[in-house]
């Protein structure tokens, strides 16, 4: 199976040939951890997760190394830490911000069905590597030290690299305008960018010694953003690796500058052979922005929808095409996934889904994904398999394993894709009106449970209980809402059924019918029968 990928560097689709098929290496720029990730940030994470899964399938699970970093040093982080924890020393406050944000990010992307990368390095654990690369650049005259308005800086000299600008296809004089680089007197070229900048004593920083033209200077400071990725990709993937990815906004200046640093430091022509970029995501036709009120974090959406729904919407659009996020796409995705999930259960092939069997992964889906990640056609093929599985057990298994392979989580539980729930308020419990606070809380409880936010789901459950509303998810079948738990409900039903059997034994049919009506009103469907000894029995289930 050969994979074809679009390469930003050459601007065409090319057959993918790994440098070493036994060690396929991919680097994707990860989040800067200062706030909840938004749904735009979810796009590269999902897109490159699909690629990671495809590479693992083709080259073998142990032969693919995926590195996605965490940027935990950044001025935005410092500002957030000072704002949120003014009472703490800055470094402690920073740790609080980065740790809680990274934790939330992990929970979010797990709920979206993404595998963990092989390595997830943090910038602050790789300062030594950054300083080493900067020193190499100073040694080879690709960098210089200069005093700026905010202190001393080590800068990359873009003029020292003739090939600078190849990825974004910009000439140096165009870049000045494109990047809106401030004309700073200490820079040799206005496009020169920071590798290391001096910190004030109150700012986070590391002591680093740099030597330039035989003179050593010590600068207590912090790294620039671009050098982080050069250092971490080099440490874990080497001087040249196979694939480098991220959102389209990173092409310039971030990726251009990563290439400049890495190629000049290691004397290589290429940093990564294939550069891949996902298109931007916008919401209902507009750029997502807090002021327009169309800004959503991943978590906000995961409070209302199972992660598979978001994953489906992301994969419906080809990764290089701009994606327009719409409420109607979410509803359609939910409907499709409910269908798929019910069929998965009806076909009796859930075990093939829970641990996807490689030999049952659909060749056609692999072929489509191998064509520069044609995910929308892959989803259509999954829809086809969901039909074919109805009459062909083998294809039902293929459907199950392929669903697992593409990474849709929680598909074995239709309850997470249903709208509505079974209400059983037998006394004067509160009414649950559509759109009411209680209704939203119930849906939050369902989605939080689906997405494995156990603690928040529990909080929601308790908030509802305080209002006399008890919620339970009956394994994969339905969401039950009542003024008793489903277990209490079951007990009550069993008791009523026992009294009905007594009435029937006593031939009191009027009473037995009255009890039946009472149960029907509770949506309980009865099936009378006899056991081996001829005793009356009654089986029951709740009608959805």
Residue closer to ligand AMP (CB basis): 37 or 460: 37
Stretch that binds ligand AMP, among 40-48, 127-135, 148-156, 386-394 (CB under 6 A): 40-48
How many alpha carbons lie under 13 Å from residue 278 in its C-beta half-sphere?
29
Contact 542, 422 (CB under 8 A): yes
Binding to Zn ion (CB under 5 A) within 393-452 occurs at none
> Does residue 280 interact with ligand AMP by CB under 6 A?
yes
Q: Look-up: residue for tokens 């990274």?
A: 102
State which of residues 7, 41, 240, 472 lies at the interface with ligand AMP (CB under 6 A).
41
Can you tell me the distance from the alpha carbon of 175 to that of 428, in angstroms, rounded to the nearest whole number?
Answer: 69
- In the bound complex, what is the minimum distance in angstroms from residue 294's beta carbon to ligand AMP? 11
And the tokens for 106? 């992990």
Of 190 and 279, which CB lies nearer to ligand AMP in the complex structure? Answer: 279
Residue 229 near which of ligand AMP, Zn ion, none (CB within 5-8 Å, type-dependent): Zn ion
Using the Cα atoms of residue 442, residue 444, residue 447 and residue 448 in order, give the sign of their dihedral. negative
Closest CB to Zn ion among residues 250, 442: 250
Task: Work out whether 237 is an interface residue with Zn ion (CB under 5 A).
Answer: no
Q: Which two tokens stand for residue 194?
A: 């920071």
Using rule CB under 6 A, residue 324 touches ligand AMP: no
Binder among 18, 44, 117, 404 for ligand AMP (CB under 6 A) = 44
| Phi-psi region at 113: left, alpha or beta (left = phi > 0; alpha = psi -120 to 50) | left
A 10 A CB-CB count for 148 gives 15
Residue 99 binds ligand AMP, judged by CB under 6 A: no
Q: Which CB atom, from 29 or from 411, has the smaller least distance to Zn ion?
A: 29
Q: Which is nearer to Zn ion, 55 or 229 (CB)?
A: 229
81 lies in the site for Zn ion, by CB under 5 A: no
Residue 71 Cβ vs ligand AMP, minimum distance, rounded to whole Å: 7
What backbone torsions phi and psi does residue 138 show, to the nearest 5 degrees?
-70, -40
Helix or strand or coil: residue 101?
Answer: helix
Residues 6+ apart with CB under 8 A from 226: 193, 195, 253, 254, 257, 258, 261
Q: What is the Cα gyration radius of the chain?
A: 29
Cβ 355 to ligand AMP shortest distance, Å:
31
Residues 6+ positions from 39 with CB-CB distance below 8 Å: 281, 283, 288, 296, 297, 298, 301, 310, 325
354-to-108, 350, 398, 513 alpha-carbon distances in Å: 20, 6, 13, 44
Whether the ω angle into residue 494 lies within 30 degrees of 0, i.e. cis, is no
Q: Is position 31 an interface residue for ligand AMP (rule: CB under 6 A)? A: yes
Binding mask 154-193 for ligand AMP (x = CB under 6 A): ----------------------------------------
C-alpha count within 13 angstroms, C-beta hemisphere, residue 45: 27
When binding is defined by CB under 6 A, the residue of 121, 223, 247, 482 that contacts ligand AMP is: 247
Give the residue closest to ligand AMP by C-beta.
Answer: 247
Closer residue to ligand AMP (CB): 33 or 333: 33
Q: Which is nearer to ligand AMP, 167 or 361 (CB)?
A: 167
Site residues for Zn ion, 202-231, by CB under 5 A, read 229
How far is residue 77 from each of residues 49, 52, 82, 281, 524, measured CA to CA in Å? 26, 29, 9, 24, 55
Q: How many residues are there in the chain? A: 544
Task: List the one residue from 205, 224, 246, 307 that touches ligand AMP (CB under 6 A).
Answer: 246
Nearest to ligand AMP of 145, 194 (CB atom): 194
Q: Residue 79's binding partner, choosing from ligand AMP, Zn ion, none, with beta-carbon cut-off 5 to 8 A by kind?
A: none
Q: Is there binding between residue 117 and ligand AMP (CB under 6 A)?
A: no
- To the nearest whole angstrom, how small is the minimum distance from the Cβ of residue 315 to ligand AMP? 14
The binder of ligand AMP chosen from 125, 249, 324, 494 (CB under 6 A): 249
Sheet of 24-28, strand order: 64-68, 24-28, 241-247, 272-278
* 40 in contact with ligand AMP (CB under 6 A): yes
- Kindly state the smallest distance separating residue 39's Cβ from ligand AMP, in Å: 8
Which residues, in sequence order, are CB contacts of 155 under 8 Å at separation 6+?
143, 144, 145, 146, 186, 187, 188, 192, 193, 194, 195
Six-digit token string for 528? 């009378």
- Nearest in space to 470 (alpha carbons), one of 460, 487, 486, 483: 483
Query: By C-beta, is 69 or 410 nearer to Zn ion?
Result: 69
**Total chain residues near Zn ion (CB under 5 A):** 2
- Segment near ligand AMP (CB under 6 A), from 10-18, 35-43, 118-126, 129-137? 35-43
Q: Which of residues 15-34 bind Zn ion (CB under 5 A)?
A: 29
The piece of 28-36, 173-181, 189-197, 210-218 that touches ligand AMP (CB under 6 A) is 28-36
Which residues are near Zn ion by CB under 5 A? 29, 229
Which residues are near ligand AMP by CB under 6 A? 29, 31-32, 40-41, 43-44, 246-247, 249-250, 278, 280-281, 288
């Amino acid at each position: 199976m050969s994979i074809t990928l679009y390469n930003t560097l050459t601007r065409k689709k090319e057959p993918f040939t790994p440098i070493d098929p036994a060690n396929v290496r991919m680097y994707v720029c990860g989040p800067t951890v200062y706030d909840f990730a938004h749904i735009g940030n979810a796009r590269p994470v999902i897109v490159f997760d699909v690629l990671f899964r495809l590479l693992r399938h083709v080259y073998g699970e142990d032969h693919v190394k995926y590195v996605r970093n965490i940027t935990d040093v950044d001025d935005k982080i410092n500002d957030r830490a000072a704002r949120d924890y003014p009472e703490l020393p800055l470094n402690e406050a920073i740790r609080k911000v980065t740790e809680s944000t990274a934790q939330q990010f992990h929970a979010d992307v797990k709920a979206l069905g993404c595998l963990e990368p092989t390595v997830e390095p943090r910038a602050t654990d790789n300062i030594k590597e950054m300083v080493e690369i900067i020193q190499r650049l100073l040694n080879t005259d690709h960098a210089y030290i200069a005093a700026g308005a905010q202190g001393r800086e080590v800068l990359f000299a873009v003029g020292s690299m003739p090939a600078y600008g190849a990825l974004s296809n910009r000439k140096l004089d165009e870049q000045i305008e494109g990047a809106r680089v401030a004309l700073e007197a200490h820079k040799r070229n206005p496009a020169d960018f920071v590798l290391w900048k001096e910190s004030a004593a109150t700012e986070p920083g590391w002591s680093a010694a740099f030597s330039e033209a035989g003179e050593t200077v010590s600068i207590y400071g912090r790294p620039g953003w671009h050098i982080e990725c050069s250092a971490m990709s080099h440490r874990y993937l080497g001087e040249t690796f196979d694939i480098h990815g991220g959102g389209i906004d990173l092409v310039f200046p971030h990726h251009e500058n990563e290439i400049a640093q890495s190629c000049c430091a290691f004397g290589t022509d290429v940093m990564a052979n294939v550069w891949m970029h996902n298109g931007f995501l916008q919401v209902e036709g507009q750029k997502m922005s807090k002021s327009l009120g169309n800004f959503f974090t991943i978590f906000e959406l995961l409070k209302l929808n199972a992660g598979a729904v978001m994953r489906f919407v992301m994969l419906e659009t080809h990764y290089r095409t701009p994606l327009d996020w719409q409420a109607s796409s979410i509803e359609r995705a939910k409907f499709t996934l409910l269908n798929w999930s019910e069929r998965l259960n009806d076909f009796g092939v859930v075990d093939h889904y829970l641990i996807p069997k490689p030999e049952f992964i659909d060749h056609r889906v692999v072929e489509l994904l191998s064509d520069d990640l044609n995910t929308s056609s892959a989803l259509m093929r999954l829809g086809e398999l969901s039909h074919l599985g109805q009459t062909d057990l083998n294809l039902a298994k293929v459907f199950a394993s392929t669903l697992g392979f593409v990474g849709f989580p929680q598909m074995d539980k239709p309850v997470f894709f249903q709208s509505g729930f079974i209400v059983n308020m037998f006394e004067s419990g509160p009414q649950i009106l559509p759109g009411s606070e209680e209704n939203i809380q119930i849906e939050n409880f369902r989605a939080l449970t689906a997405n494995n936010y156990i603690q928040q789901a529990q909080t929601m459950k308790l908030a509802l209980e305080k209002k006399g509303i008890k919620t339970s998810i009956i394994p994969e079948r339905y969401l039950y809402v009542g003024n008793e738990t489903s277990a209490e409900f079951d007990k009550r039903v069993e008791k009523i059924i026992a009294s009905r059997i007594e009435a029937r034994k006593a031939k009191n049919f009027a009473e037995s019918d009255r009890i039946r009506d009472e149960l029907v009103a509770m949506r309980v469907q009865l099936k009378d029968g006899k056991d081996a000894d001829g005793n009356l029995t009654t089986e029951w289930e709740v009608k959805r």
